[in-house]
Structure 1
Amino acid sequence: MAILERIQASDHEQLLFTRDRDTGLRTIIAIHDTTRGPGLGGIRIREYDSEADAVDDVLRLSQAMSYKNACAGLAFGGAKAVILGPLPADRRAAFLAMGRIVEGLAGRYVATEDMGMAEADIAVLNEVTEFAVGRSREAGGSGDPSPHTALGVFVGMRATVRAAGLGDGMRGLSVAVQGCGKVGLGLIGHLIDAGARVIAADTDTDGVAEARELGAEIVNADQILAAEVDVLAPCAIGGVLNEATIPTLRCRAVAGGANNQLATEADADRLAARGIVYAPDFVINAGGVINVGDELAPGGYSPERVRGRVMDIEQTLAEIFGESRESRQNTAGIAVARAQGLLRGR
């Protein structure tokens, strides 16, 4: 499918390819929808196998940001940027160039942190554009968003286990966490504190070591998806729930922090057919964007307001699960319809 046809098929407003002459920086920015406000979404640094793979990723991620921001009740649309790795050797110069690209969009895109970035990179962006959020608390920003993402996944998991008939809390339940990055580790901490048994895996040895210190049992990365547990929590790469992996799952529910967990729309039906309750990823993992987006709220950032909105994820998911039971439609479709209705002002 030609690029313009793909943009039309996914209902995107804009797809921008940019190359900075001085640094060699190569970027793709996708703006999906600005009905509710400027498109808010992270900048992801990644080496792709092909340009087509990068386009697919940025289109899917930006659409998910529209849905995520809408379901979280935020006055933002959805957008995403990818930097085609490797990042130029002069990191500061690269992010100054990225900041100028964002500034050139005149507020249609508000950038924040994603894979491969840090708070310091946001500070560099802010030297040349106001349209970047996620600054450190010391710089007057909202700080690291990952604890808020982890908290949102945890409270969303509580709604998920209730929907799966697993009780009203996490104590005594078993959870497999795929990915021991910031979000995965934060989630493991909440789960251990709540009395759950946690199995974890990652290819990163440092993350695995931290997970073990928190009290998680460690298994090989290629075993985690098929672990026999109550809940599977994908907190790493996307597309892990697919035609090949879903038949191997041995869990009652899926609730994790990764983006785009389903490889295709059909995978939501595959999970439902197996009786596995699925928490739509763009609903349960919205804590981070709730946090960074609050920097632009009237009066500035409010930790109390952020925490309240993150805690609301549990109720939003409970409503989605309830509607799914009544309509007998899969939860992913219910969540997408909910988001699309909000984007259209319904």
Structure 2
Amino acid sequence: MSQTPAPDLFDLSRDHEQVVFCQDAATGLKAVVAIHSTALGPALGGTRFHPYATTDEAVQDALNLSRSMSYKAALAGLDLGGGKAVIIGDPHTLKSEALLRAYGRFVQSLGGRYLTACDVGTYSEDMDHVARECSYVTGRTVAHGGAGDSSVLTAFGVFQGMRASAEVTWGSPTLAGRTVGIAGVGKVGRHLTGLLIEDGASVVVTDVYQPAVERLRTEFPQVTVVESTDRLVATPLDVYAPCALGHALTDEVVAVLSARIVCGAANNQLAHPGVEKSLADRGILYAPDYCVNSGGLIQVADELDGFSFERAHQRASGIFETTRRVFDLAAADGVPPAVAADRLAERRMHEVGRLRGIWLNPSS
């Protein structure tokens, strides 16, 4: 009987510095921590708690997300590298204080190479539990000296990216009078809805989690709700904002999308290499995800210096100019914005990382 060969983890993670598997039988913890790069500083990235179908799927997600965190931190001008952790399981049934504390002990064992925070399926209160066993935790509750909910500035940063995209597309940095479709109205999507309505936009939303939809209806009764993402992308839109899980921009979605702009909070939105060109060919301006969704990273990173919301908010407002820089470079080099963003991030990782390496290792 033939067998499918197991994936070569060294090959899968060849551009990563370290991948760690964590397991605690007593609590049911199974986690993967991926450190992509520490060229600019310790790797900072959230902990995603999700019921992955297979371990391979969880590993691949950790690798993809940690890589994007390196690029996100570099483009945001932070002295941080990129990492990400995933905990395998349903957070609604598996999450417990004991599991989170066991996870904290594993993060502590990495000695500060990886700093954790919140992500899909984890919250500031969870980080307080992790921090009872670990010194390398950000995104904690305000009561424990943290920044609290990082989705506030994530949404603000996406909104700044939308404003920059609107200026390039329509000549004015506002969404007033435009129709914006948001897929996923959990933490970030809900805050983004408020910012858009305040700016004068019409908002159409969808989410697979009905309690999130009902909460949004209560807070913003003027929003329009559709039953699925397929229905949303087929709706006449000016802007499409993927704010749920990754790989939202498939060939099928791009083929039916009416929006002139794609700008959302989800990580790793491009389903495969080449989608960015398909978007450009259809005249759709894509604001690279890790460029516009870096507000949350900026917020939790500010905790490392003693959190100031005003300072973090001011830094996150710079996402507008960063997005414009990406679009300007894309136009100058004749490449899609996703390629231009990569070039800017890679340039900083190479130049600053090289100089940092010389200072840390003067004999090399």
Q: Which residue of 2 aligns with 1:216?
A: 223
The structural deviation recorded for 1:19 is 1.1
Q: Which amino acid aligns with 2:108?
A: E
Which residue of the other structure, out of 67, 70, 81, is the alignment partner of 2:71?
67
Aligned to 2:256: 248
1:176 equivalent in structure 2: 181
Does 2:156 align with 1:151?
yes
Among residues 300, 305, 325, which one is paired with 2:311 in the alignment?
305
Deviation at 1:167, TM superposition (A): 3.2
Matched, 1:314 2:320: yes
Whether 2:212 is the aligned partner of 1:207: answer yes
Query: Equivalent residues in 2 for 1:1-346 (5 A)?
Result: 1-8=7-14, 11-86=15-90, 89=94, 91-165=96-170, 167-213=172-218, 214=220, 215-221=222-228, 222-297=230-305, 300-345=306-351
CA contact (8 A) 2:40 2:81 kept: yes
Cα contact 1:155–1:311 (8 A) shared by 2: yes
User: Offset of 1:187 from its aligned partner?
Assistant: 0.6
Q: Deviations over 1:17-53 (max 9, x none)?
A: 1211332311111000001111000111111121111
Matched residue SS, 1:132: coil
Report the Cα distance in structure 2 between the residues aligned to 1:311 and 1:45, rounded to whole angstroms: 29
SS at match of 1:113: coil
State the TM-score, normalizing by the size of structure 1.
0.96
Q: Distance in 1 between matches of 2:197 and 2:27?
A: 45
1:210 Cα deviation from its structure 2 partner = 3.0
4+ runs of 1 displaced by more than 3 Å? 86-90
Q: Distance in 2 between matches of 1:280 and 1:161?
A: 14
**Maintained 8 Å contact 1:67/1:282:** yes
| Structure 1 CA distance for aligned equivalents of residues 25 and 207 of structure 2 | 37
- 286-295 or 18-27, which moves further after superposition? 18-27
State the secondary structure of the residue aligned to 1:175. strand
In structure 2, C-alpha distance between the alignment counterparts of 1:216 and 1:33, rounded to whole Å? 41
Kindly provide the amino acid, as one letter, of the partner of residue 74 in structure 1: L
Where does the alignment leave 5 or more consecutive residues of structure 1 unmatched?
A: none
Report the secondary structure of 2:170's partner residue.
coil
- Shift in Å, 1:89: 4.4
CA contact (8 A) 2:165 2:173 kept: no
> For residue 30 of structure 1, what is the amino acid of its counterpart?
A
- Secondary structure in structure 2 of the residue aligned to 1:27: strand
Alpha carbons 2:28, 2:94 under 8 Å: kept: no
Range with bigger deviation, 88-97 or 20-29:
88-97
* Contact 2:182-2:240 within 8 A present in 1 as well: yes
Identical positions, percent? 39
Shift of 1:209: 2.2
**How large is the Cα RMSD of the aligned pairs?**
1.3
Q: What is the distance in 2 between the residues matched to 1:21 and 1:123? A: 22
3-state SS in 2 of match to 1:17: strand
- Read off the aligned partner of 2:195 and give its amino acid letter: H
Q: CA deviation at 1:220?
A: 1.6
Count the aligned residue pairs: 342
Post-superposition shift, 1:277? 0.2
For 1:332, give the aligned amino acid. A
